[in-house]
Structure 1
Amino acid sequence: MNTQAVATDFPELSDFGHDPWWLVAGKAVVVFGFLVLTVLVAILLERKVMARMQSRTGPNRVGPHGILQSAADGVKLALKEGLIPTGADKPIYLLAPIIAVVPAITAFAVIPFGPTVSVFGHHTPLQLTDLPVGVLYILAMTSIGVYGIVLAGWSSGSTYPLLGGLRSAAQVISYEIAMGLAFAAVFLQSSTLSTSGIVAAQGDRWFILLLLPSFLIYTISMVGETNRAPFDLPEAEGELVGGFHTEYSSLKFAMFMLAEYINMVTVSALATTLFLGGWQVPWPLSLIGATNSGWIPVLWFVIKVWSFLFVFFWLRTTLPRLRYDQFMNLGWKVLIPISLAWVMIVGVIRVSVDHSGTADSRTWVAETILIVVGLAVTAATCYAATIPLRAATVDEPAPAPGAFDPQTFDPMAGGFPVPPLPGQRATDQPVKERL
């Protein structure tokens, strides 16, 4: 909740496009520097957080307390030999890392960092630019980024990278549908697709309160969208060696890692913009003077983004990787149907309430209904999300002695141990007889 006590300089679409060229160039450099610096710090902190949670030491050799470890890793990758597989499609192989990293950076152009401020006498929003369809622009850029992963897997001329690229494509298709439906509820509530307009629409109530199911669905989808644990199936080393970037080394491999972490920052910033009031100071601190104006909101924006990044680290540390069928069932059978139902509920509530009572009473009634129904839908989502996982882990009863069981298989038939698939059961024949 964020009840404003003073007027806030919310940017409008008409405020963009009037800055001098040097100010636009400066904003672009600041955005790029913020992303690169955040990636360097995130790589170090992720290793530190994981070590802390797993009772390990973590990086502590390069620099005081290991703070130069990210720089050392970058130098090491830059000095490695860049190899190109013999069977690779060289032009596409070299272009794939660029296709992955460029959309990740450009997607941040419409993210608002703060309100309108004065820079050397020029009043300008703390945002590079904005569009009437700013959120759709971000979706488009993140969708283009997956082409880099798919092309990397295909152009490598190897089986495992190709499988990783195909997995990533299927992953993006399934989870971007749920993500887009989560955005639809935000658009209905804010009546705009502009990122600055969505932040302004949360001046009184943050959308995490009114649209809790959308927030939950988006947070799950953004982890799947960025191929992060426990949804890192395109890079599953136990199945695909290293995934789509198995055949990459040196700076080309570093560009894929840069794209992954920048995408993490982008989806975290988008979650902050859509559901946590963007750069706005949380209540009750917003009641203290002009805390929602000037440069102070930039600090709160960074704090909110880093809160989501910490959740990424936490998930990687604590959760095991899902099986691919579990992952796809969660997206297609749980998140998408519930997202569709929730968008319909939000639309019905808004249409029903908008035709009764005064403006203030309509707002109060609509928000109350959204909060109550949202809690119920959130509980249903959490329960439904565990159904595919629980169903897939239930052991089937063993067949009666002498009964024909078509699911029984020999795990050592090919000379190497093969784990059972869901519904399969290994034979009771001793290992020595099979060998």
Structure 2
Amino acid sequence: MTGLPHLASVIAADVPVVDNPRADFSDTPWWLHLVKALLVFVFLLVNTLLVIWFERRVIGRMQQRPGPNRTGPFGLLQTLADGIKLALKEDLTPRKADKVVFALAPAIAGAMAFVSFAIIPMGPSVWMFGHHTPLQLTDIPVAVLLVLAVAGVGVYGIVLAGWSSGSTYPLLGGLRSTAQVISYEIAMGLSLVAVFIYSGSMSTSQIVYSQRSLWYIVPAFFSFFVYVVTMVGETNRLPFDLAEGEGELTGGFHTEYSSLKFAMFFLGEYVNMFTVSALATTMFLGGWQAPPGIAAIDGGLFNHGWWGLLWFVVKLWLFMFVFVWLRGSLPRVRYDQFMRFGWRFLIPVTLAWVVVVAFIRASQLGFIAGPTFTLAGRQYPLLSFLFVVVVAAGVLLAYYLWEGRAAEARAAREAAPPEEIDPYAGGYPVPPLPGQRLKEPTLDASDRALEKESTRG
């Protein structure tokens, strides 16, 4: 209880406390909500058609080939033609499949991909059909947690698809996806905690408004790095598409699917890419707000009205290019390496980073007193700086010790094999490795007697 008087005195001393208004839906009738929901649905469908064409064209350029360029101008209708082709294919169901769950799984995977976009602010308040309404479907005080919850439900579509197919490879793909999503959703959630601390809210509209002077990619740069890694793993994209690895699992969890059921998984994957990219834009890149230089023109003219939608779409497509770039550049990682990276590096280091950010933020708000020092014209608490240095040194030391033990273990496993081996030492004949020679077998008394008899004969 001793901290409460200090907290009250700090607030009374006019310590700056961020007060970010939430999106105002008071002038939005119910039918306008339906119109905006339809517009969001169409926006995601059209962007999905475009990004598939964009991905094939960009990777084609990387691999020195043209990509789709026949159907429609510049090949723009190729994705639409592929969708029609999928719809007209025969819909097959394996004989041993659980038919109800088999049909339900792609519906879950596809539907959950659209739900998360409901809380993404795509622009400021605009004049639409005679009403002043935000370019956002809805907002709640814990909007970001809704995205994480929906992502956890969406994985049920993948797991149920693998289990209900009645086949081995889909089941392995579903199990892989379960472990993968659990591992990387933990790190993803932890990476967003730093943004919650800086903004003081989990509401997406409030988080965007709190970045009007500084985007959170600057103070929470490490959280941004962790989020980018986890969002690639969350969407099962290369180099982390281990739940559908063609080299090991044929097609993974959707091996037995065809026609529109397969198209639903395909659609869900690309819509999820837009969802995680939109969340990254909202949390770290100022959401719909214009870049700092442009935002200062004419007193913020380009930060109002429908301009916000333009900046939001530009930032969104920058992340989509990163997805395509990674797919065209990196090979698929090994599954054990991917899981080890998530559990042994991302999660513990992100936990340490959250503690550091909380300590820095408490110092900035005046909850931690002590001497200060000046850096780049700004005052920083010396105690916070020392704490950050100690935590960083501890993390580096722990990483050094961990890597040292791992290197010793690898050296022990990779020790030079003996030059001479007994091929029957384990009870089974084992061929020698390159550079090895076989040891002469030791004969017992009965073997020597048989050898003598054979030489006499």
Match of 1:286 in 2: 295
Match of 1:78 in 2: 87
Work out whether residues 43 and 70 of structure 1, in 8 Å CA contact, stay in contact via their aligned partners in 2. yes
- SS for the counterpart of 1:192 is coil
Inter-partner Cα distance in structure 2 for 1:134 and 1:366: 32
Deviates more, 1:76-85 or 1:65-74: 65-74
What amino acid sits opposite 2:228 in the alignment? Answer: T
- SS for the counterpart of 1:210 is coil
What amino acid sits opposite 2:154 in the alignment? Answer: G
Q: Shift in Å at residue 353 of structure 1?
A: 3.4
Match of 1:399 in 2: 417
Decide which of 348, 354, 357 is 2:359's aligned counterpart.
348
Q: Shift in Å at residue 25 of structure 1?
A: 1.1
Inter-partner Cα distance in structure 2 for 1:25 and 1:246: 36
1:365-386 CA-partner distances (Å, limit 9, x unpaired)? 469989x969x97xx89xx79x
Inter-partner Cα distance in structure 1 for 2:324 and 2:247: 20
Inter-partner Cα distance in structure 1 for 2:146 and 2:422: 57
- Higher Cα Rg, which structure: 2
Inter-partner Cα distance in structure 2 for 1:157 and 1:213: 42
Work out whether residues 27 and 131 of structure 2, in 8 Å CA contact, stay in contact via their aligned partners in 1. no
1:228-251 CA-partner distances (Å, limit 9, x unpaired)? 000000011111010000000000
Distance 1:320 1:14, change over 3 A: closer
Decide which of 293, 314, 320 is 1:309's aligned counterpart.
320
Distance 1:14 1:327, change over 3 A: closer
- SS for the counterpart of 1:124 is strand
Q: Shift in Å at residue 59 of structure 1?
A: 1.1
Q: Shift in Å at residue 20 of structure 1?
A: 1.1
Inter-partner Cα distance in structure 2 for 1:280 and 1:310: 20
Deviates more, 1:284-293 or 1:146-155: 284-293
Match of 1:224 in 2: 233
What amino acid sits opposite 1:150 in the alignment? Answer: V
Work out whether residues 122 and 135 of structure 2, in 8 Å CA contact, stay in contact via their aligned partners in 1. yes
Tell me, yes or no, if structure 1 residue 200 matches structure 2 residue 209.
yes
Inter-partner Cα distance in structure 2 for 1:366 and 1:141: 39
Inter-partner Cα distance in structure 1 for 2:362 and 2:36: 40
Inter-partner Cα distance in structure 2 for 1:299 and 1:311: 19
Tell me, yes or no, if structure 1 residue 326 matches structure 2 residue 337.
yes
1:137-164 CA-partner distances (Å, limit 9, x unpaired)? 0111111110000000000000000000
Work out whether residues 39 and 261 of structure 1, in 8 Å CA contact, stay in contact via their aligned partners in 2. yes
Inter-partner Cα distance in structure 1 for 2:365 and 2:99: 58
What TM-score do you get using the length of structure 1 for normalisation?
0.84
Deviates more, 1:247-256 or 1:290-299: 290-299
Distance 1:366 1:346, change over 3 A: farther
Number of residue pairs aligned between Structure 1 and Structure 2: 400
Inter-partner Cα distance in structure 1 for 2:381 and 2:25: 31
Task: Give 1:27-426 correspondences, 5 Å limit.
Answer: 27-289=36-298, 290-355=301-366, 356=369, 365=379, 396-402=414-420
RMSD: 3.4
What amino acid sits opposite 2:91 in the alignment? Answer: G
Q: Shift in Å at residue 176 of structure 1?
A: 0.5
Decide which of 9, 25, 32 is 1:16's aligned counterpart.
25
- SS for the counterpart of 2:81 is helix
- Structure 1: runs of 5 or more not aligned: 1-9, 414-424, 431-435
Distance 1:238 1:393, change over 3 A: farther
Work out whether residues 265 and 309 of structure 1, in 8 Å CA contact, stay in contact via their aligned partners in 2. yes
Work out whether residues 419 and 435 of structure 2, in 8 Å CA contact, stay in contact via their aligned partners in 1. no
Match of 1:419 in 2: none
- SS for the counterpart of 2:217 is helix
- SS for the counterpart of 1:33 is helix
Inter-partner Cα distance in structure 2 for 1:57 and 1:93: 37
- Structure 2: runs of 5 or more not aligned: 1-18, 437-457
What amino acid sits opposite 1:146 in the alignment? Answer: V
Q: Shift in Å at residue 103 of structure 1?
A: 1.1
What TM-score do you get using the length of structure 2 for normalisation?
0.80
Q: Shift in Å at residue 428 of structure 1?
A: 3.9
- SS for the counterpart of 1:271 is helix
Work out whether residues 350 and 366 of structure 1, in 8 Å CA contact, stay in contact via their aligned partners in 2. no
Inter-partner Cα distance in structure 2 for 1:333 and 1:225: 17
What amino acid sits opposite 1:400 in the alignment? Answer: P
Inter-partner Cα distance in structure 2 for 1:121 and 1:199: 25
Inter-partner Cα distance in structure 1 for 2:45 and 2:432: 50
Work out whether residues 161 and 170 of structure 2, in 8 Å CA contact, stay in contact via their aligned partners in 1. yes
1:371-412 CA-partner distances (Å, limit 9, x unpaired)? x969x97xx89xx79x79x96998924313126899x9x9x9
Q: Shift in Å at residue 350 of structure 1?
A: 1.8
1:112-160 CA-partner distances (Å, limit 9, x unpaired)? 0111111233111110000000000011111111000000000000000
Distance 1:75 1:429, change over 3 A: farther
- SS for the counterpart of 2:257 is coil
What amino acid sits opposite 1:92 in the alignment? Answer: V
Distance 1:303 1:397, change over 3 A: same
Distance 1:365 1:130, change over 3 A: farther
Distance 1:256 1:366, change over 3 A: farther
- SS for the counterpart of 2:66 is coil
Work out whether residues 17 and 129 of structure 1, in 8 Å CA contact, stay in contact via their aligned partners in 2. no
Work out whether residues 11 and 115 of structure 1, in 8 Å CA contact, stay in contact via their aligned partners in 2. no
1:284-321 CA-partner distances (Å, limit 9, x unpaired)? 11111211011111101000000001000000000000
Inter-partner Cα distance in structure 2 for 1:367 and 1:55: 54
- SS for the counterpart of 1:35 is helix
Inter-partner Cα distance in structure 1 for 2:381 and 2:205: 21
Inter-partner Cα distance in structure 2 for 1:159 and 1:45: 34
Decide which of 422, 429, 433 is 1:427's aligned counterpart.
433
